[in-house]
Structure formats: C-alpha cells, structure tokens
Copies of this chain bind each other. A is one copy, B any other.
C-alpha cells in the first residue's frame, strides 16, 4: 500500500511497524491463546526487533490490548462499510444478522474472547478491557439500531436490539467449541422473523418502500 518505499518518512515507518506488531499479536492470540502469546513471539512474527517492540509496547498487556483495540477499529470500519451495503426491503433484517454473525465469528471476536477471559483474573488487564468493551458495545448497539431501522422510543425495542447482540455473542462463543454454521443459520432465520414481528410494524411498511 505504501508508494516509493525508499523515501518512506520515519513517521510512516513507525506506523507500519506498530501495525505489523499489532497484527502479529492478534494472530498469536488467535493461534495460541492469551497464555501462549509472548512479546518475544510477537516481535519475531512481526520481524521487529525486541528493542523497538519494547519501546512501543513495554508489556505483553500493552501489546495485546493495543492489538485488540486496533483490530476492533478495523472491524468497526468494516462493519460500517458492510452496513452501508445492506439491502433494503424484506431481507434487510436477515442481512443485518448475517453481518453481525460474521463479526462475532471472526478472528477479532476470538482475539477479544482471549482478552476477556484473561482479564477476568488479571485486574490490570480488566481495568483496560472494561472501558474498551463499553465503547465497542455502544458502537455495535448504535450501528445495529440504525441498520435495523429500529425505533428505540418504542417499548421493548432497545432490549430486543441488545438481545440480538447478546445472541450473536453467544453463538460466537459456541462456535469456538464446535463449528455449527448450519445451526446458526437456522436460529438466525427464525430470529429475523421474530424480530420483524416484534419491532414496530410501521417500520416494515417503510422497509418495503410502501411509505
């Protein structure tokens, strides 16, 4: 993606090195889990010297937290782009669920899961993961409300959107033990029907383009 690499300014080289470290850290979390991830392993994988790695991320927690934050931002941008491509009409709700399913079964979910579970028994990590999760949760909620065209001023709508996100989180967790794409598909087919029936019927007319 960089042009004229021989003239790359220092700032850009630093950014590229940080990005390599963060991507290597996410790969490590996904492949080896939190306990199998070490700063040595990550710097080797990224092709970055130990000194440079330690300069940017003094501890393993700094590194994995920045990595998951970075990937969350990348995925957030991808989610927003996917939301912009959603079809209108009666298939929109199901398409929103597929979009969320893709997100919650992706490597970013797996890496975040490793971080969550590690944070559970590591107060320093917990202190950093908590606020990150709150932000991620708020963003995902807002995006889903908009994508569904849900009217949160209606009673129960906010809770159904939250339930949708908790459902796909639960499906994502189930997927880490056994791959069950078929089961997920059937559940989300039904969830889309339930959601359409439960959300404000006026919205459906709108979705169908009849208003």
**A133-B177, A177-B130 known; A163 vs B169 contact (CB < 8 Å):** no
Q: How many copies does the complex hold?
A: 2
Of A11-19, A63-71, A82-90, A112-120, the stretch lying at the interface with chain B is A112-120
Q: Does A32 contact B (CB under 8 A)?
A: yes
**A117-B33, A159-B186, A189-B159 known; A170 vs B166 contact (CB < 8 Å):** yes
- Considering only CB atoms and an 8 Å cut-off, how many residues of chain A contact the other chain? 48
Of B34, B116, B178, the residue contacting A176 (CB under 8 A) is B116
**A166-B171, A170-B169 known; A190 vs B159 contact (CB < 8 Å):** yes
Q: Provide the residues of chain B in CB contact with A4, threshold 8 Å.
A: none
Residues of A within 8 A of B (CB): 31-36, 110, 113-114, 116-121, 126, 129-130, 133-134, 156, 159-160, 162-163, 165-174, 176-178, 183, 186-187, 189-191, 193-194, 197-198
